[in-house]
Amino acid sequence: MVSVSDVPGAQGLNKGQLRELYYKMFLARSVGERERMLNRMGKGPFAVTGEGHEAAQVGTAYAMTPGKDWALTYYRDIGVALTLGMTPQDLLLAHLARAESIESGGRNMPSHFSSVDLRIVSGSAPVATQVPHAVGIALASKMRGLDEVAVAYFGDGAASVGVVHESMNLAGVHKLAVIFVCENNQYAISVPASKQAAITDLSIRAQGYGFPGVTVDGNDVLTVYSAAKEAVKRARAGDGPTFIEAKTYRLVPHTSDDDDRRYRSREEVEEWEKNGPLVRFRTWLEGNGVASKGEIDEIEATATAEIDAATEYAEAAPTPDPATAMRHVFVEEE
Q: Is 153 a catalytic residue?
A: no
Asked if 86 touches another protein (CB under 8 A), the answer is no
Handedness of CA 131, 183, 214, 7 (dihedral sign): positive
Select from 150, 177, 224, 299 the one that contacts another protein (CB under 8 A). 150
Interacting span for another protein (CB under 8 A) from 60-68, 97-105, 236-244, 270-278: 97-105
Q: Which of 32, 105, 157, 240 binds another protein (CB under 8 A)?
A: 105
Residues 107, 263, 264, 280: which is the catalytic one? 263
DSSP β-ladder status, 213-217 and 178-184: unpaired
Q: How far is it, in rounded angstroms, from Cα 127 to Cα 163?
A: 10
Question: What would the x/- binding string for another protein be over residues 151 to 170, using CB under 8 A?
Answer: -----------xx--xx-xx
Which 3-state string (H, E, C) describes 33-93?
A: HHHHHHHHCCCCCCCCCCCCCHHHHHHHHCCCCCCCCEEECCCCCHHHHHHHCCCHHHHHH
Q: Which CB sits closer to another protein, 137 or 296?
A: 137
- C-alpha separations of 162 from 168, 172, 184, 291 in Å: 10, 16, 17, 45
The sign of the dihedral angle between the CA atoms of 71, 75, 80, 85 is positive
332: contact with another protein by CB under 8 A: yes
Stretch that binds another protein, among 21-29, 133-141, 191-199, 212-220 (CB under 8 A): 133-141
Q: Is 122 in the site for another protein (CB under 8 A)?
A: yes
Establish if 89 lies at the interface with another protein (CB under 8 A): no
Q: What is the nearest approach in angstroms of another protein to the Cβ of residue 93?
A: 12
Count the Cβ atoms, other than its own, within 10 Å of residue 154. Answer: 27
The footprint of another protein (CB under 8 A) covers 70, 101-108, 112, 114, 116, 121-122, 124, 126, 129-141, 143-144, 148, 150, 162-163, 166-167, 169-170, 173, 327-333
Residues forming the active site: 250, 254, 263
